[in-house]
Structure 1
């Protein structure tokens, strides 16, 4: 395994067919690094057997990648790290996290490729034992959409899963969601047609106890899945 410590890595541009493997990066900064989508999902950037520990990602963007057997242990971001149209197999996200958004959609400039990636991603997840483990992630609410909830390992105390059917049935309306970011989840599910969505409490928030209470009330109301 190749190790990289305390480095500033700037301006990397991943090309179709590139592969990152057997890499350990500790205490490094990624600046303006981009992984753009490939026209052929079979040629997407592949990252495997890799660990990032105590790193920062600033003005970076990942699109259409394939991540397998990866550990991200602590990640700082200046604004938000967007990971779009990508797939995951046995990826652990833990430790103190900045703003991380995982969504199934490609950038609008690649709109013609969206159906291609939707099919490829569905086929990929049909073979996956588990995709993400976020049970030890700490930080601002992670925004994770499009990864099948059944394939996500989570902390049941601070992380819940709401399905499209639960949002449609509306039992969540019996729970006061005011003052929490959970209030956006039902609308996102219904408007975006997702199968399910993760509700993730911010473990560094001063109102964490309230968020945990709301999650439990949603669970009791049958508005999120039991654990």
Structure 2
């Protein structure tokens, strides 16, 4: 599918489950994606790709992607009024997220997959990011929340005030006992990451933004994070 524009369309329960498939030059403006998913969990060569595309002002309701490669994609002002957008085991190159975006979760391939297959996808991720091209640009993104465990933090262009960088090497031997339990759990996940760095996002739209920002910026004082 190439060079198609959709304006104020409502898509419900769409599934793209087969590859290879390339969505190229797709523009979605307004409307809603309800319970839509792009999924492939069989091929670590990532046969489903979304490239040179954009989505703007579209409500993302209970939608997800698993095992998809995104390149040169821009997402602008796409709220998530219900569950977060889940992006499991996906690859990103030159993807720009900006405006109000609600909640997003970037995670590894689902644990329901066999270990050998998850390992193959993890190795593919390392090879993909080894070229050093930036993965995400979130400098103008306003999240309610965002978790970014499945991509290297050094390849994320970010706002240093609210999007901190944590390096695994700084966690070695660090005393985390004085930190909130939620922060401790997050840092333990960082320590298990296959990548050397992870971005910690403090959502500007989260209800207790100022308090959360102050708490997480303590990680800079402790030498665990950098702005």
- Report the TM-score, using the length of structure 1 for normalisation: 0.87
Match status 1:46 vs 2:69: no
Q: Deviations over 1:17-71 (max 9, x none)?
A: 1111111111121122222225223352100111111112223221110000001
Aligned residues: 223
Unmatched 5+ residue regions in structure 1? none
SS at match of 1:119: helix
What are structure 2's unaligned runs of at least 5 residues?
Answer: none
Evaluate the alpha carbon distance shift between residue 38 and residue 70 of structure 1 in structure 2; reply closer, same or farther with a 3 A threshold: same
TM-score normalised to the size of structure 2?
A: 0.87
Instruction: Identify the residue that residue 204 of structure 1 maps to in structure 2.
Output: 205
The CA distance in 1 between the partners of 2:182 and 2:203, in whole Å, is: 10
Q: For residue 97 of structure 1, what is the aligned residue in structure 2?
A: 101
Q: In structure 2, what is the Cα distance between the partners aligned to 1:111 and 1:58?
A: 30
CA drift of 1:215 comes to: 3.6
Which of 147, 150, 153 is the matching residue for 2:151? 147
Distance 2:110 2:152 in 1: 17
**In structure 2, C-alpha distance between the alignment counterparts of 1:192 and 1:49, rounded to whole Å:** 29
The structure richer in helix per residue is 1
Residue number in structure 1 paired with 2:91: 87
Task: Give me the whole-angstrom Cα distance separating, in 1, the residues matched to 2:217 and 2:85.
Answer: 29
1:169 — aligned with what? 173
Q: Distance in 1 between matches of 2:28 and 2:38?
A: 17
Deviation at 1:140, TM superposition (A): 1.4
